[in-house]
Structure 1
Amino acid sequence: MSILLLTFIAVVFFLAGVVKGVIGLGLPTVSMGLLAVAMPPAHALAIVIVPGILTNIWQTFAGPYFAGIVKRLWPLLLSLAVGIWLNRDMMTGPYARHGTVLIGILLVIYAIISLRKFALTVPPAREKSIGGVIGLTTGLISGATGVQVIPSMPFFQALGMKKDELIQALGVFFTVATVAQAFNLSAAGVLDESTALPGVIALACAFTGMALGQSVRSRLEPEAFRRWFLISMMLLGIYLACAATYEIYFA
């Protein structure tokens, strides 16, 4: 792997770590979106896996809500893993080259939904049944793209959790997703020793970015940061979808 590509990976994960440190999510979304500019989604996800698992484990246990989160959201978490497993061949099979288009579309949808701030609510009595459907749908999409924000993020926003509880819940959710993806990539032969060096670089830069993001969180205007982050994701999504579609059908 060239020095230029390793440098690109380092910058991507530093930026993704900063975003995650400030708002509690975004490392897989930002890194998959940016890496898709330079490589197929399966190769990008193979680099994302180890930093994703370790940073999410840190977030998973950095708070007192773990047991309550698992008890409340276990149908979402279980169906998420099942959905990722069911769609395990989409990222490496004959339709793999369409993954970048899907990533772009998902980034645009995610940004629009988040910017509009839809005031959704989920009745407590239906959290488990709706969560099961949301988890399965997110898992199927994630199995093909490595992106886990649609339709899971609107669901999380509708649960009415406190800020710290929500950040920890997102850590649990993304940990389950990345571990499930790791099994898929290992079975497909994509996650191997060739990803070790970029994975180590990605991990170091992600943790550095997270530390910086957490240190400046209280000094930033969170809403302004979130708005510009989402606008950037939308523009990136439009670029990825258009560029990949052109390459598939016209190049």
Structure 2
Amino acid sequence: MAHAVNVRPMLDFAALIIAAVFLLAGLVKGVLGLGLPTISMGLLAIAMPPGQAAAMLVVPSLATNFWQMVGGPYLRGLLKRLAGMLAGVCIGTWLGAGWLTGPYARFGAIALGLSLIVYAVLGLSAVRFKVPHDKEAWLGPIVGLLTGLITAATGVFVIPAIVYLQGIGLEKEELVQALGLSFTISTVALSFNLIGAGVLNVSLAATAIIALVAALAGMWIGQVVRLRLEQATFRRWFFIGLLLLGIYLIAAPLVR
């Protein structure tokens, strides 16, 4: 007679790991105003397929970014100014439906690693892009489309959208709200892909609650830390960490 396997300790350990990942990701977001999807996807992809990691990301990402999106007075103006880019994000994400969960999903970790490396190198460099106002009408949709395609392939929606948003001359608080808006739309668009693939469903409810609570707790801690820490130092080590994580995600599948 076969012995029953007690899976409760494994489930508890998995929940602990997920909580720790989202606590850290929330802390980074609390300090910098970004980083939750990047950190959580990068760390979770070490232990699970990127599609599954992206499904766990949806609820905490949507909640924290919606909070950031509505937490300022610039939303109406940003919606008008960024409409083309946001439409491009949706189209690009839906064009890439299945990339995280289909036959090419095994390349997702490598694509994610490349995305993290590019993001980290840009963050560590002194290069800053300036987008002339008269170029936004056609450049915004192109940036959105590219961001959507990368989102569909990696579950991370920062490149090249964040470079574009930093380059169009937004004030500090406008930029924070614009990031929340962009990330919220990207999360919603990605969720449709994941629902269609069957990896985002009610069975993830308990995990989503754990991730959300941990992310919100991390954000609160991060906001406290932000008042006491030199942000430039934290930002530099954040990007160094992303660079190392990206290298690992690319190298690990190649040496197995």
Query: For this structure pair, what is the TM-score category when the shorter chain's length is used for normalisation?
Result: over 0.9
Residue 72, structure 1, aligned to residue 71, structure 2 = no
Tell me by how many angstroms 1:128 deviates: 2.3
Q: Match of 2:7?
A: none
Q: Match of 2:166?
A: 157
CA contact (8 A) 1:61 1:168 kept: yes
Residue 9, structure 1, aligned to residue 56, structure 2 = no
Q: Deviations over 1:118-165 (max 9, x none)?
A: 121000011121111000011011101101111112112211211111
SS of 2:135's equivalent in the other structure is helix
Map 1:54-93; keep pairs closer than 5 Å.
Answer: 54-93=63-102
Tell me by how many angstroms 1:219 deviates: 1.4
Select 1:179's aligned residue among 188, 191, 195. Answer: 188
Q: Match of 1:129?
A: 138
CA distance in structure 1 between the partners assigned to 2:174 and 2:31 by the alignment: 15
User: How many residues of Structure 1 are paired with residues of Structure 2 in the alignment?
Assistant: 247
Residue 196, structure 1, aligned to residue 201, structure 2 = no
Q: Match of 1:208?
A: 217
Q: Match of 1:43?
A: 52
Residue 238, structure 1, aligned to residue 247, structure 2 = yes
Residue 226, structure 1, aligned to residue 235, structure 2 = yes
Deviation larger for 213-222 or 175-184? 213-222
CA contact (8 A) 1:98 1:244 kept: no
SS of 2:178's equivalent in the other structure is helix
Question: What is the TM-score normalised by the length of structure 1?
Answer: 0.96
Residue 167, structure 1, aligned to residue 208, structure 2 = no
Structure 1: runs of 5 or more not aligned: none
CA distance in structure 2 between the partners assigned to 1:90 and 1:216 by the alignment: 37
| Letter in structure 2 aligned against 1:150 | I
Map 1:92-111; keep pairs closer than 5 Å.
Answer: 92-111=101-120
| Letter in structure 1 aligned against 2:187 | T
| Letter in structure 1 aligned against 2:216 | F
- After the TM superposition, list the runs of 4 or more consecutive aligned residues in structure 1 that deviate by more than 2 angstroms: 244-247
CA distance in structure 1 between the partners assigned to 2:99 and 2:128 by the alignment: 33
CA contact (8 A) 1:122 1:159 kept: yes
Q: Deviations over 1:148-190 (max 9, x none)?
A: 1111121122112111110110000000000011111111111
Tell me by how many angstroms 1:92 deviates: 1.1
Tell me by how many angstroms 1:39 deviates: 0.3
Identical-residue share of aligned pairs (%): 51
Tell me by how many angstroms 1:195 deviates: 1.3
CA distance in structure 2 between the partners assigned to 1:116 and 1:128 by the alignment: 27
Question: What is the TM-score normalised by the length of structure 2?
Answer: 0.94
> What is the CA RMSD across the aligned residues, in angstroms?
1.0
Structure 2: runs of 5 or more not aligned: 1-9
CA distance in structure 2 between the partners assigned to 1:245 and 1:41 by the alignment: 17
Larger Rg computed on CA atoms: 2
| Letter in structure 2 aligned against 1:181 | L
Q: Deviations over 1:28-70 (max 9, x none)?
A: 0100000001100000000000111111110000001101111
Tell me by how many angstroms 1:230 deviates: 0.4
